[in-house]
Structure 1
Amino acid sequence: MNYFEGLEGTVSSESDSQRTLTPYVTGTSVIGIKYKDGILMTADMGGSYGSTLRYKGVERMKPVGKHSIIGASGEISDFQEIMRYLDELIIHDNMWDDGNSLGPKEIHNYLTRVMYNRRNKFDPLWNTLVLGGIKNGQKYLGMVSSIGVHFEDDHIATGFGNHLARPILRDEWKEDMSFEDAVKLLEKCMLVLLYRDRSAINKLQITKITEEGATVYQPYALKTHWGFTAFKNPANGGAEGSW
């Protein structure tokens, strides 16, 4: 018997009449990196209603089972649905009571199948997911998009972060980074996104997973500086027609 057989089907029936046909309340970039002791992940806490930054306390990162954490860009309600899938998956796994538990690689594979399955039904879950974890000393970090595209890497960023934060990570990330240095790198990336992504806010949250388990830290605000010359008078920098 396929271990995952029937699980995804139990939480989404063909008789459902309500669909998320287009994203409404969305979150922006999620960044995940490997560091010396495990995985670190960060995201801001903004929730945009269309182009309006309506909510400023949305948590988009959650622990999954004993060994993993997940972060999501995109539609918030679809992320809640995905967490419902994962809750049922973990409960089903615990019911076996065989001393084993799902690791990050297994959960990442499961999410890949779920996202691709929903895409094939023309009813996608409008999220890009980052899944990180550590089990038996092996660190794992992967992503999966709303159409099932997936890969693993040492550092991952979604949304605008894939364009603006990844170059910084390629230059400055090191595999043996301490927790403190890894947090500083994530804050640098988030600050760059804050200045350039209209949907980003300076209130962020950091989550880590080590062999000891997951820790979700309290949100805090980044210090910002808006006195740059390019901000004061964009027209001097060649931005014709700007205010």
Structure 2
Amino acid sequence: MAKRYDINSALLRDLPLINGSHSSAVGQPKAHTQSPSVSGTAVIGVAFKGGIVLAADTVGSYGTLCKLRTIPRLLRVNKSTVLAMSGDYADFQYIEQLIAKKTMQDFCSDDGYEWTPKSLHSWLTRILYNARSKFDPLWNSYVVGGLEDGVPYLGGLTMLGISYTAPYMATGFGRFIAQPFLADQLEKNPEMDEAAAREVAIHSLRLLYYRNRESSNKYQLTVVTKDGSVLEPIKEFEGVWDTALMIRGYD
């Protein structure tokens, strides 16, 4: 994980003098988190009757190069709560460590408390908003999913700490490509079951694979129902490129 730096911790006395005053552009500490190196693209969330589905591809892009092909961007927090991330992978690892530390503290206190989707969503909102308030934001968007008192819960988060809930959601490029498709499918079938939700989520990833150069056909999927949460192994879907032969006018 990339080391985090507080850009406000630089002391003016450590900066060189230019024309009798301290320079704000020379000698400042490196702010690695302000330029993410390895990042992941869109994640998809769909609520169905009795649970939720989260899906994401497994590519890690180094700039625009799809360098890493099998990095997970889904996190099973517990039997009722899961998390999906798009954005800087190092910052995601940092959040993973914070969640693990908080989980261990709760376990040691032995008070019977564990994360729920709503509590994790609220806590992450404060973490991201606090980081952005220090002008050192975590470069991630998150989708929190699970069952809250037996009711499906989907919560979204931006890197600025803006939170929202919805029965479906997509981050990154998926807001423009996949979200209209998700809205159409849930409008047609508001009471969709788990099988339909899986199909919709995977097809959303397929749409992104065709239109986003930083996407991949390798993906991972997690489902939360009353029986618990299951993080499935990495799978792969086949692409269909026959329509490319019908494209004209770009010679």
Aligned equivalent of 1:73: 86
Moved more, 197-206 or 60-69: 60-69
Q: 2-side partners of 1:172 and 1:66: how far apart? A: 27
Q: 1-side partners of 2:92 and 2:225: how far apart? A: 23
Q: 2-side partners of 1:115 and 1:70: how far apart? A: 15
Aligned equivalent of 1:108: 121
- Give the counterpart of 2:138 among 125, 134, 157: 125
Q: Secondary structure at the match of 2:33?
A: coil
Aligned equivalent of 1:207: 222
| TM-score normalized by the length of structure 2 | 0.84
Q: 1-side partners of 2:63 and 2:112: how far apart? A: 46
Question: In the alignment, is the contact (CA less than 8 A) between 1:93 and 1:102 conserved in 2?
Answer: no
Aligned equivalent of 2:240: 225
Cα displacement (A) at 1:98: 2.0
Question: In the alignment, is the contact (CA less than 8 A) between 1:33 and 1:155 conserved in 2?
Answer: yes
| CA offset digits 1:92-140 (Å, max 9, x no partner) | 2222222232211011000000001001111111100000111321221
Aligned equivalent of 2:63: 50
Q: Output the amino acid matched with 1:162.
A: R
In the TM superposition, 1:1-243 aligns within 5 A as: 19-173=32-186, 174-228=189-243, 231-232=244-245, 234-236=247-249, 242-243=250-251
Cα displacement (A) at 1:190: 1.1
| CA offset digits 1:8-49 (Å, max 9, x no partner) | xxxx79689874121111111100111122110000011110
CA gap of 1:167–1:13, structure 2 versus 1, over 3 A, is: closer
Q: 2-side partners of 1:220 and 1:102: how far apart? A: 28
Tell me, which stretches of 5 or more residues in structure 2 are unaligned? 10-28
Structure number with larger C-alpha Rg: 2
Question: In the alignment, is the contact (CA less than 8 A) between 1:39 and 1:132 conserved in 2?
Answer: yes
CA gap of 1:71–1:102, structure 2 versus 1, over 3 A, is: same
Q: Secondary structure at the match of 1:20?
A: helix
Aligned equivalent of 2:24: none
| CA offset digits 1:54-82 (Å, max 9, x no partner) | 01101000111342100000111110001
Moved more, 197-206 or 207-216: 207-216
Aligned residues: 226
| TM-score normalized by the length of structure 1 | 0.87
Question: In the alignment, is the contact (CA less than 8 A) between 2:5 and 2:33 conserved in 1?
Answer: no
| CA offset digits 1:118-176 (Å, max 9, x no partner) | 01111111100000111321221101111111100000100111111111111112443
